Amino acid sequence: MLNIDLNSDVQDRLKKLAETYKNNYNSLFNDFYNYNIEEHKRGMKNIELDLAFFEKKYSISTSEFYKNFNQGKYGDYNEDFIRWSGEYEIWLEHKRDLENLQ
């Protein structure tokens, strides 16, 4: 048994949601869990489109770029490089979260 302390608003919303599942909390949780996994996968795929764009534009893999970027090999400021590194960091966060969920 899992006991979770929720404020009354959250409890009310959870009860309403559970009613749509005929109070089957196992199904509710499994659907929520699977939804989160799929959202992380979708997020990663969307980011991968942007990473592929930068890889093609600069003829370097994202991992190699990121290593060089963090070592300061690309100078002080390039808007593409800032965005590219940020998107890769978000992709890495999604990957870590997904690994933890699975």
Q: Give the pLDDT means over successive 10-residue stretches in the chain (102 positions).
A: 87 91 92 96 97 98 96 87 96 96 89
- pLDDT for res 35: 96
pTM: 0.82
For residues 88 and 66, is the Cβ–Cβ distance under 8 A?
A: yes
61 contact partners, CB below 8 Å, separation of at least 6: 55
Tell me if 73 is assigned to some domain: yes
Residue 4 has a pLDDT of 85
Q: What is the largest CA-CA distance in the chain?
A: 59
Instruction: Identify whether the C-beta of residue 42 lies closer than 8 Å to the C-beta of residue 96.
Output: no
Identify whether 70 is part of a domain. yes
Per-residue pLDDT, 28: 94
C-alpha distances out from residue 27 to 33, 83, 98, Å: 10, 39, 20
Domain span including residue 74: 37-101
Residue 25 forms part of a structural domain: no
